[in-house]
Amino acid sequence: MNRITEPDETELAFSRLFPKIVLASRSENRRKLMECGGSTVYQLPMETKEERKGKTAEETVLNIARAKMEAYLTSDKKIPTLPALTADTLVLFSGSLIGKAGTEKEAKERIKSFSGKKQSVITASLLYLPDDGISEIVDTADVWFKKLSDEEIDAYIATGDWIEAAGSYRLQRNGWSIVERIDGDWTTVVGLPMKKIIENMNGKKHLNHICY
């Protein structure tokens, strides 16, 4: 696929809705995604145990995002006048949920297993609005990998993109070079389903006073 050109219309539309927002997560990708469109992001990471509990992949990812939001809303760091987001992303591949690789060797094995195949990236997000409470948003995008040689895999791993990345790759950096195509929203793959969040905002009270 081609390199992602930023900011795109989705990021710009998001920033118009959320000129200021809290990100209750330590994710650099999610913060940069929102900042690229122009949002001012107050990043307040929450310490939670990311336990994989749920009857489905979607429920599992959603439960992790819920735990982060619960931690934020009960924290003394909470900024009650601002909207807030939490999120979590996992990859569903060959019937298994995959998160972040712990070692370079593990990341290389994962990318090799993805070669020439499809995976589903599931991102769940909780959106807190001061006047509307909490909304839960889940989105899935299918990612098709190119057929990769060992040399191409080694070159990609050497970029360091795999570190702290669900699935061991990052589209915004060098991941676009090993991906053939995406069926769905690319921001969902990065870790924040912006299109679904924007759709969720239709009719919300927040729209009446978006300039904080």
- Angle among Cα 59, 121, 38 to the nearest 5 degrees reads 100
Task: With CA atoms as reference, report the closest residue to 67 among 88, 98, 89.
Answer: 88
CA dist 128 and 131 (Å) reads 9
Dihedral-angle region of residue 59 (phi above 0 means left; psi in -120 to 50 means alpha; beta otherwise): alpha
Q: Quote the strand ranges of 63-212, DSSP E.
A: 84-93, 96-98, 118-129, 133-145, 179-183
Is residue 185 among the annotated active site residues? Answer: no
Q: Which amino acid is at 120?
A: S
Structure tokens at 172: 């915004």
Name the active-site residue from 8, 76, 88, 132: 88
Location of structure tokens 């060959």 = 94
The percent helix, strand, coil of the chain (3-state, each to 5) is 35, 25, 40
DSSP state of 120: E
**Catalytic residues, which ones?**
88
